[in-house]
Amino acid sequence: MSFGGWLEIIHSFSRVKKKIPFLSLATSKAIRRFADFETVKVHNMEEELRDQKAHMDYYNMLHLVSEAQFGIPKLCPCGAITKETVEEEDTYDYFPGKRYFVCTQFTNDGLHFRQPWVKDIQEEVERLKERYHAQEKVLRECQALKVSDEFML
């Protein structure tokens, strides 16, 4: 019989409140204590597994947040809308308040957006430049095809 089968028998004996007839009183008490210990151990293991799962979910979400921080954010990974805010305090005399894109439900747990405005605008401009160059390349190819098509006629 496997260990799991023995545990099942012990648990069924531990549910019985009276003395088990074919065992001595000390043996039945020992079985109940062992069953209680195993139950606590199983509950602790389940709690630890739940805790590990929560940590894994948190780390997976952090990975998604880091991947999503590119360009001007429209939505936060939590589903809230991002808004543009300006810091009231001036860092330097020559540098008035900094601008940020901030999640409307921002808490500092790493799962919400609070990105500098300058960085996001710069990334967005770079992305638009790449799209412009790709479109320009397609237009040149179309014009070249049009010219070669005219020569064929």
| Cβ neighbours of 39 (radius 10 Å) | 14
- Give residue 4's pLDDT: 53
pTM over 0.85: no
Between CA 100 and CA 112 the distance in angstroms is 13
> Using one digit for the tens of pLDDT, what is the confidence trace for 12-55?
655 554 555 555 556 666 666 666 655 556 566 778 888 888 88
Residue with the bigger pLDDT between 30 and 121: it is: 121
DSSP 27-72: HHHHHHHHHHHHHHHHHHHHHHHHHHHHHHHHHHHHHHHHHH-SSS
Number of alpha carbons in the 13 Å side-chain half-sphere of residue 88: 0
Q: In the structure encoding, which two tokens stand for residue 79, read together?
A: 């589903």
**Nearest in space to 113 (alpha carbons), one of 59, 65, 61:** 65
Between CA 133 and CA 85 the distance in angstroms is 32
> Using one digit for the tens of pLDDT, what is the confidence trace for 109-118?
766 777 777 7
| Residue 93 confidence (pLDDT) above 70 | no
Residue with the bigger pLDDT between 150 and 43: it is: 150
> Using one digit for the tens of pLDDT, what is the confidence trace for 124-136?
888 899 999 999 9
| Residue 3 confidence (pLDDT) above 60 | no
Q: 136: phi > 0 → left, psi -120 to 50 → alpha, else beta; which? A: alpha
- Give residue 58's pLDDT: 78
Between CA 23 and CA 144 the distance in angstroms is 97
- Give residue 122's pLDDT: 79
- Give residue 31's pLDDT: 62
Amino acid at 104: T
- Give residue 123's pLDDT: 80
Q: Where are the domains of the chain?
A: 1-68
